Structure 1
């Protein structure tokens, strides 16, 4: 049998990417192209009092300077599907530094850039709110979070009773800073109008959502809009929603009646497509001396924009990761003069589990109990909030295997007890979790009479390996080689697929591809067994296997015929079938999550306070793994990001002017090759018949969760100093 699911297959799009054949949005060749450049506010709050555009309009090559004074009418959008609700170019009000206040369109990029410098703006400046403390003093408690899908306040039991039962208490506050996505490929949009039809090349994680949204903006039918995004150089959430620059590009192209390309600069990526907001998390853990939790209280505070309500859902994992009879989690929000935050890899879990896992480590020291043992004693055998059984859960196995690989039993638990020359050595660990979600998706499979297979779905490959794993799923179901299958994505002319995010693509689209392939297989099977000229005539479906591009009798594989032979005999017509990921039968209620355990070793310079991660082990239970190689790459990438989150990443904003000061990859630090240690990744084999038809759970965001907590815990073990404010930098260790 042609078993390819799970194998470490090389990326099918790899050659195109390394040879330059993969065209990203800004690479698309379009005739008569013109260029757009944004005009941005230079203050954080106030009003435009004077806007002089005449010189810019008369500059060489300039086709238009569009501001709130001459912008054509179009419909405004709000947060989700919009990245933010602030009306675009509608008035003179300024709410944050970097707000788009106009767009210049010219025949060349250089002409547009120069003309943008000629636009003169004067402001009435007002005092902005920048500081999180000031914002929270005027803050409030939101009623719902995460696109209004979840209540903000979760509770059960009696917190006061849990506190009175606690023999040991940990009460601490943990902070995470503003962080930006920094994908390799900055966002870009290319708009081409032909009468009332629009082709939009866009760096988006959601071509279908973009199509629907832009249709509403310009009040035209969705079928008149084609959105294309065949390759993405990373997204991580900042390309999931529809941001103002996309709408401005489409509007400008219609205005000048020429195709327009607008590519954000690296600096503009810090003000145009969202960010992870800073969080302040107040955690209280209570436990008996036997190490059983009696209470968990987790209050998450963060900032949002003046015009939207976005809460970083830091307590989502707290509500389900450990068994505790008394729990209370809630949120406070404050507004500052900035753009709206957005989803960033593991939104909620990445920051929330740093705080929770740091607090669990503090509790383990207070109890003089091994950190793994504390977690085992509070393992949630069922979902704490609902009592539902897990569809599958291998967290205990992750702890055990991770500890064995890492050599955890050799750890001296006393802080500061391990060293190597002038360096202190610390070992730390943390749990990881992320929901196993899926959204409605469709796919189409065509079997050509040549034996080639085309699989189509309007999904995306953010660099994660979607092209490859979908090819594997179709090839295995149809019993053909990988070379016979072509997978197309990133185009609204293809069957509809959901936003690529929340670690749902493999589960959602993969299940749809599997269903479409099964439907195509059943169609060609029916043709064969109904054809008196076929050697498979009147065979029972269960007696036939699909292998090497043929239909064969299972008990006599020498009897059978190929797809080509069957289709040629029936007039050469291709077989087409569609499929979706909708469940065909009602399933019992299960809680669906991925889990993992992360172990790290750090080295801390005694004199300089410099922290280096020396090795890392991550063991995960994440359902069926579709490709061992791309899955391992995903986990290494997420762990690397976790290293950056723990030790480096921090967007610095001017406290007086609301200006981002490190809006580049020189000053906003992320890990480079020398910062990344040996990383060992293993998966616990799971068979999950309940999570979805493929049995997959998604891994893209699980990989970052827990890493920052494990590093913080290792730093404490090395130094005896608990750092509760990320990133962990030398100045904090040397204070």
Structure 2
């Protein structure tokens, strides 16, 4: 029996649990006899601790323990680097020495009977420091430049000579602010030791990596750690790594011999759980008078910590997004006295594509060529960066569909030519792209005599609808109704899965579930009359031969209209459209929701979000929701999402490409390009601020 549920707008199977409160998040797994831990953060940006008045605080009511480098257990910190961790450098060893590496670093931990007692004690703890001046600005001449060991440079042809000889050329620099993730659910961990075995209810996008990391830190066998995370209230990358608060929760539970809950405050999430790094970029483009690119040079620098090398694909898209015979891309890091950045939705591509697509838009006006037509004239026939055909590429179709839907031809092409009363109107467009990744994943399927199928995998769900889409894959493959499938995730003792990030969950986990379902059906054919459960586990990964033959990416075209008040400089996005070629769409309802959320995140990147650091000590001065601005309902315009039909037989057995990242990637440049169209003023830094619009 075939149920044909893939491609249908199935409502969330976990929706009722979420709206009724049955869905539990990390901080809600309260335990009997539970204590509470509060982190004390460093108030200097660099230096060392010279004194801690622990004795007085230890006597305060309800305090069970005061931990610092003076008395904390010395942890094993065995080598471990998951796929998400920086390959170069060493993670922060929390409470193991007196060194302060960045403002907000955990330097002490209070454990108490109640949260109130722990917070009072944390506020009373007096710590003295020998402080030094931290380097926290990527543009600081004293910031050490690093060539990342992962290697990001690409060269074909002679871009410098071609640029010098180009009939038309353009140079521009771009500055994108640091951003913090700020999901609805703050980080939290509940830790319980039973003998030498540890259970962690912890907010994690990668439960098997958290299991392995904590086992390595405490020097205990992997099987002695269990990580549980059935639901995540948003993450966007901040929960990919296992940050120091997880270690501290486990440490506190071991020291006190009691269950311990540790939940970060909103302010603390600006210190120790990663961020999108600030980037500086330089783009140089050479072209003919008719708009054919002859040279493209894209250089970028991103921030990292001094103790680890965080790198992302900042300039990678420039090697394949447009056709050009002479291309050079260079990527460098600036080592700063800050916590290590982490991947944030659309990592690398969101920042790099902003620079490239802004420069292409500027070139289109310089040549008096329609911005879409310029991209059409430079559409590559293959990935020129690796000299491979694309497994599928629907970018021009996305532009065609989007231009008709957005009524692009009604746009007056000259800057400052469109008005709505006293408001200046601008319409901009930009490309979006993101790699179509697939990682190794396993899944287990169990067919019960009752006709129920149980599916288990150690994946995570931070909100895109993983429970629902995976249920659809299993139901269709098994030929069962949706309500006969029970999908479970978020436990490290389930079959291992990759991180829930990078837009590869459906490609990776979905393919494993499909394979496990096929295996269990084959087993059922061999034993058709058994009353015992039938079980199969499968592991899948991308075929190396196929991966070697094709370049695999999703593509999209993003359109935005802005209205700018010339008197006060306010910018409002009035409508936006994203058109995407992302392979097979498992659930159009969820996919539309994913893209809508990503596009709203792009509005934040373009117009609002930035973390401002105090130059004296690296303190985030706007580490709260009053001053760290993000789009809310009143900032959200009419957003439309469309998908072009795209069949990709190569990318994975399901033919899917990720949507979580690409939906954010093109939004910021589309808005910035619309701002130029409205005002004639080219803004090359994000976010675009009111003061940028003065005299525009």
TM-score normalized with structure 1 length: 0.92
Question: In structure 1, what is the equivalent of residue 379 of structure 2?
Answer: 379
**1:318 Cα shift?**
1.2
Mapped pair 1:578 → 2:584: no
Q: Distance in 1 between matches of 2:639 and 2:385?
A: 34
Is residue 155–residue 326 contact of structure 1 (8 Å, CA) maintained in 2?
A: yes
1:689 to 633, 638, 649: 649
CA offsets per residue over residues 641-670 of structure 1, 9 Å max, x none?
000100100111112221111111111000
Question: In structure 1, what is the equivalent of residue 196 of structure 2?
Answer: 196
Where do 5+ consecutive residues of structure 2 fail to align?
Answer: none
Q: Distance in 2 between matches of 1:665 and 1:254?
A: 34
Q: Distance in 2 between matches of 1:717 and 1:80?
A: 46
Mapped pair 1:23 → 2:28: no
Mapped pair 1:298 → 2:303: no
Computed over aligned residues only, the root mean square deviation of the Cα atoms, in angstroms, reads 1.4
Question: In structure 2, what is the equivalent of residue 435 of structure 1?
Answer: 435
Question: In structure 2, what is the equivalent of residue 102 of structure 1?
Answer: 108
Max Rg structure: 1
Is residue 135–residue 143 contact of structure 2 (8 Å, CA) maintained in 1?
A: no
When residues 516 and 720 of structure 1 are mapped into structure 2, their CA distance, relative to the original with a 3 A threshold, is same
Is residue 430–residue 558 contact of structure 2 (8 Å, CA) maintained in 1?
A: yes
Question: In structure 1, what is the equivalent of residue 138 of structure 2?
Answer: 132
Is residue 612–residue 675 contact of structure 1 (8 Å, CA) maintained in 2?
A: yes
When residues 13 and 511 of structure 1 are mapped into structure 2, their CA distance, relative to the original with a 3 A threshold, is same
Q: Distance in 2 between matches of 1:691 and 1:581?
A: 13
CA offsets per residue over residues 435-488 of structure 1, 9 Å max, x none?
000111010111100011111100011101000001000101111110010100
Is residue 44–residue 657 contact of structure 1 (8 Å, CA) maintained in 2?
A: yes
Is residue 78–residue 219 contact of structure 2 (8 Å, CA) maintained in 1?
A: no
Mapped pair 1:678 → 2:638: yes
Question: In structure 1, what is the equivalent of residue 286 of structure 2?
Answer: 286
CA offsets per residue over residues 420-449 of structure 1, 9 Å max, x none?
001000000000000000111010111100
Q: How does 1:479-558 map onto structure 2 within 5 Å?
A: 479-528=479-528
Q: Distance in 2 between matches of 1:137 and 1:302?
A: 15
Q: How does 1:278-677 map onto structure 2 within 5 Å?
A: 278-528=278-528, 566=529, 570=530, 572-582=531-541, 586-587=545-546, 589-677=549-637
Question: In structure 1, what is the equivalent of residue 70 of structure 2?
Answer: 69
Q: Distance in 2 between matches of 1:700 and 1:63?
A: 43
Q: Distance in 2 between matches of 1:338 and 1:492?
A: 31
SS in 2 for 1:703: helix
CA offsets per residue over residues 681-728 of structure 1, 9 Å max, x none?
000111111101111111100100110000000000000011111111
Is residue 173–residue 280 contact of structure 1 (8 Å, CA) maintained in 2?
A: yes
Q: Distance in 2 between matches of 1:332 and 1:474?
A: 44
Q: How does 1:262-277 map onto structure 2 within 5 Å?
A: 262-277=262-277
Is residue 168–residue 287 contact of structure 2 (8 Å, CA) maintained in 1?
A: yes
**1:80 Cα shift?**
4.4
SS in 2 for 1:204: coil
Question: In structure 2, what is the equivalent of residue 257 of structure 1?
Answer: 257
Q: Distance in 1 between matches of 2:189 and 2:298?
A: 41
When residues 390 and 278 of structure 1 are mapped into structure 2, their CA distance, relative to the original with a 3 A threshold, is same
1:122 to 123, 128, 132: 128
Mapped pair 1:187 → 2:187: yes
**1:63 Cα shift?**
1.2
**1:137 Cα shift?**
4.6
Q: Distance in 2 between matches of 1:43 and 1:164?
A: 48
Q: Distance in 1 between matches of 2:315 and 2:302?
A: 12
Is residue 297–residue 327 contact of structure 1 (8 Å, CA) maintained in 2?
A: yes
CA offsets per residue over residues 477-536 of structure 1, 9 Å max, x none?
1111100101000001211111111111010000000001111111112334xxxxxxxx
Q: Distance in 1 between matches of 2:495 and 2:19?
A: 28
**1:166 Cα shift?**
1.2
CA offsets per residue over residues 530-571 of structure 1, 9 Å max, x none?
xxxxxxxxxxxxxxxxxxxxxxxxxxxxxxxxxxxx4xxx3x
Where do 5+ consecutive residues of structure 1 fail to align?
Answer: 529-565
**1:306 Cα shift?**
1.9
CA offsets per residue over residues 382-439 of structure 1, 9 Å max, x none?
1111111111111110010000000001111100000000100000000000000011
* Equivalenced residues, count: 688
Q: Distance in 2 between matches of 1:172 and 1:673?
A: 34
Q: Distance in 1 between matches of 2:80 and 2:513?
A: 31
Q: Distance in 2 between matches of 1:445 and 1:311?
A: 37
When residues 382 and 38 of structure 1 are mapped into structure 2, their CA distance, relative to the original with a 3 A threshold, is same
**1:336 Cα shift?**
2.3
Q: Distance in 2 between matches of 1:313 and 1:130?
A: 22
Q: How does 1:161-176 map onto structure 2 within 5 Å?
A: 161-176=161-176
Is residue 143–residue 153 contact of structure 1 (8 Å, CA) maintained in 2?
A: no
When residues 238 and 198 of structure 1 are mapped into structure 2, their CA distance, relative to the original with a 3 A threshold, is same
When residues 585 and 362 of structure 1 are mapped into structure 2, their CA distance, relative to the original with a 3 A threshold, is closer
SS in 1 for 2:144: coil
Q: Distance in 1 between matches of 2:296 and 2:61?
A: 64
Question: In structure 1, what is the equivalent of residue 675 of structure 2?
Answer: 715
Question: Bigger shift: 514-523 or 428-437?
Answer: 514-523
**1:62 Cα shift?**
1.2
SS in 1 for 2:550: coil
Question: In structure 1, what is the equivalent of residue 658 of structure 2?
Answer: 698
**1:76 Cα shift?**
2.6
**1:584 Cα shift?**
6.7
SS in 2 for 1:473: helix
TM-score normalized with structure 2 length: 0.97
Is residue 581–residue 693 contact of structure 1 (8 Å, CA) maintained in 2?
A: no
Is residue 434–residue 593 contact of structure 1 (8 Å, CA) maintained in 2?
A: yes
SS in 2 for 1:318: helix
**1:138 Cα shift?**
4.0
Question: Bigger shift: 230-239 or 89-98?
Answer: 89-98
Q: Distance in 2 between matches of 1:626 and 1:255?
A: 47
SS in 1 for 2:190: strand
SS in 1 for 2:477: helix
**1:77 Cα shift?**
6.2
When residues 262 and 138 of structure 1 are mapped into structure 2, their CA distance, relative to the original with a 3 A threshold, is closer
Question: In structure 1, what is the equivalent of residue 157 of structure 2?
Answer: 157
CA offsets per residue over residues 609-656 of structure 1, 9 Å max, x none?
110000001100001111010000000000000001001001111122
Question: Bigger shift: 281-290 or 164-173?
Answer: 164-173
Is residue 77–residue 85 contact of structure 1 (8 Å, CA) maintained in 2?
A: no
**1:93 Cα shift?**
1.6
CA offsets per residue over residues 313-360 of structure 1, 9 Å max, x none?
310111211111111111232222211111111110011111110000
**1:309 Cα shift?**
1.7
Is residue 361–residue 673 contact of structure 2 (8 Å, CA) maintained in 1?
A: yes
CA offsets per residue over residues 346-385 of structure 1, 9 Å max, x none?
1100111111100000000111101111111111211111
Mapped pair 1:734 → 2:694: yes
**1:225 Cα shift?**
1.0
CA offsets per residue over residues 585-628 of structure 1, 9 Å max, x none?
84361100000000010000011111000000110000111101
Is residue 78–residue 86 contact of structure 1 (8 Å, CA) maintained in 2?
A: no
**1:583 Cα shift?**
5.0
Question: In structure 2, what is the equivalent of residue 87 of structure 1?
Answer: 93
Q: Distance in 2 between matches of 1:220 and 1:306?
A: 28
**1:132 Cα shift?**
2.5
**1:106 Cα shift?**
0.8
